[in-house]
């Protein structure tokens, strides 16, 4: 990803917390905040969901030097590709750590209110009987400072205790 | 200061003077029920079409319990059922999920419409479906249900302001 956007990125501030599914829309702040997001369903032995979420204004600043525009088809394609790179790196690390197989679906790219995305995900979780879920949250930073981008991993089959015991 | 109604939550009131809002509706349904003669208002943030049990602890979470529950609570405040008008927003297909969950937004919408039709509650306006999020706001001062979307103009669902018409009635 660093080569793609010609900036150096690091994943920092990993946190693991337990939430009611219905808290998800406000997990990253105001539910009406417009964001760009790459969303993946995770298959394999560690089913769940993975999202790379960035505020719309930061995406424009990130992508304009790369594709010449902050929005549109090219920009959305780049968001999906960035999500692919970051998400795959994260999942590979998780899969190695737990000695399991995990693979993401192709990304779905969103440019919408964070609450609409996370609320819809909460509905999927609640419909599957998951009223509480663990959330692994990371902050992405770049060499010019903190980027308000988050990678969220919501495993369906692991509890928070199981995740912590396996650290 | 607006009252934000979270997933599976609801609000009911008489002579409501505060804005009520549901931020970021995706597949969920934002339901407003307005009885303007008595100035009684109800709003629910419905997450799923059907409750897994007859008397769930969060009745507003499910369409099949939210509608009768909201009507019951409004009647307690003096609302006359055949004067209630509904306004809906949400029911989008946001996520393509593999598995048995299907299109939750469409199923939510069908369930809410069915529950309203069974009780002969008229739908006065709606902004539903699609693949995008919505925020539904009840503007108390104007008596309007307003839908906002990212990158689009606001949409007013109420064809006429839904304000009390009964002499002496409060402002809904």
Q: Over the stretch B14-40, which tens digit does the pLDDT of each residue have?
A: 999 999 999 999 999 999 999 999 999
Is residue B140 one of the residues assigned to a domain?
Answer: yes
The number of domains in chain B is 1
Q: Over the stretch A86-129, which tens digit does the pLDDT of each residue have?
A: 888 888 888 888 888 888 899 999 999 999 999 999 999 999 88
Is residue B162 one of the residues assigned to a domain?
Answer: no
Is residue B169 one of the residues assigned to a domain?
Answer: no
Q: CA–CA separation, A154 vs A41, rounded Å?
A: 10
Residues of chain A neighbouring B132 (CB-CB closer than 8 A) = 112, 116
Q: What is the pLDDT of residue B169?
A: 47
> What is the torsional sign of CA B117, B68, B90, B41?
positive
Q: CA–CA separation, B28 vs B88, rounded Å?
A: 10
Q: What is the pLDDT of residue B26?
A: 97
Query: Nearest-CA neighbor of B45 among A48, A31, A112, A39?
Result: A31
Query: Nearest-CA neighbor of A75 among A87, A85, A60?
Result: A60
H or E element that contains B36: none
b (16+ CB within 10 A) / e for A10-39: eeeeeeeeebbbbbbbbbbeebbbbbbbbb
Q: What is the pLDDT of residue A165?
A: 67
Tell me the ipTM for this assembly.
0.90
- Gyration radius from chain A CA atoms: 15
Is residue B34 one of the residues assigned to a domain?
Answer: yes
Spans in chain A with pLDDT lower than 50: none
Is residue B54 one of the residues assigned to a domain?
Answer: yes
Q: Which of B11, B25, B28, B86 is catalytic?
A: B28
Test the B interface: residue of A42, A119, A130, A131 with most B CBs within 10 Å: A119
Confidence of residue B52 (pLDDT cuts 50, 70, 90): very high
Is residue B167 one of the residues assigned to a domain?
Answer: no
Domain that holds residue B92: 3-156
Q: CA–CA separation, A84 vs A105, rounded Å?
A: 9
- Residue ranges of domains in chain A, CATH in brackets: 2-165 (3.40.1550.10)
Q: Over the stretch B105-162, which tens digit does the pLDDT of each residue have?
A: 999 999 999 999 999 999 999 999 999 999 999 999 999 999 999 999 999 999 888 8
Q: What is the pLDDT of residue B104?
A: 95
Instruction: Look at B27 and A108 and tell me if their CB atoms are within 8 Å.
Output: no
Q: CA–CA separation, B93 vs B131, rounded Å?
A: 5
CATH number of the domain where residue B117 is located: 3.30.1330.200
Is residue B163 one of the residues assigned to a domain?
Answer: no
Strand partners, B137: B21, B146
Annotation says B34 is catalytic: no
Q: For residue B21, what is the nearest residue in chain A, using CA coordinates?
A: A32
The minimal CB distance from A117 to the residues B26, B96, B134 is found for B26
Q: What is the pLDDT of residue A47?
A: 87
Measure CA of the first residue to CA of the last residue in chain A; give whole Å: 26
Residues of chain A neighbouring B26 (CB-CB closer than 8 A) = 115-117, 119-120, 123
């Amino acid at each position: 990803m660093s080569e793609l956007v010609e900036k150096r990125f690091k994943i920092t501030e990993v946190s693991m917390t337990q939430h009611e599914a219905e808290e998800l829309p406000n997990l990253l702040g105001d539910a009406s905040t417009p964001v760009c997001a790459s969303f993946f369903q995770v298959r394999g032995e560690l089913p769940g969901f993975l999202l790379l979420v960035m505020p719309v204004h930061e995406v424009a600043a990130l992508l304009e030097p790369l594709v010449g525009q902050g929005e549109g088809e090219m920009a959305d394609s780049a968001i999906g590709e960035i999500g692919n790179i970051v998400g795959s790196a994260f999942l590979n690390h998780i899969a190695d750590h737990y000695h399991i197989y995990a693979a993401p679906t192709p990304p779905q790219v969103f440019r919408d209110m964070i609450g609409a995305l996370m609320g819809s995900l909460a509905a999927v979780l609640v419909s599957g009987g998951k009223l509480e879920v663990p959330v692994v949250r990371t902050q992405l930073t770049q060499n010019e400072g903190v980027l308000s981008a988050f990678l969220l991993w919501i495993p369906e089959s692991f509890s928070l205790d199981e995740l912590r015991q396996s650290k | 200061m607006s009252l934000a109604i979270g997933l599976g939550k609801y609000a009911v009131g008489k002579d409501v003077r505060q804005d009520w809002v549901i931020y970021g509706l995706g597949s969920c349904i934002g339901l407003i029920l307005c009885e303007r003669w008595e100035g009684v208002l109800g709003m629910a943030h419905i997450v799923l079409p059907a409750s897994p049990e007859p008397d769930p602890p969060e009745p507003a979470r499910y369409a099949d319990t939210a509608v009768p529950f909201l009507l019951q609570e409004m009647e307690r405040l003096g609302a006359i059922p055949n004067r209630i008008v509904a306004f809906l927003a949400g029911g989008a297909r946001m996520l393509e999920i593999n598995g048995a969950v299907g299109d939750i937004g469409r199923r939510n919408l069908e369930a809410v419409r069915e529950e309203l039709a069974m009780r002969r509650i008229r739908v006065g306006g709606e902004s539903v479906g699609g693949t995008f999020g919505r925020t539904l706001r009840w503007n108390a001062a104007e008596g309007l249900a307003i839908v906002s979307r990212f990158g689009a103009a606001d949409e007013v669902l109420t064809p006429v302001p839904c304000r009390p018409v009964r002499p002496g009635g409060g402002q809904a």
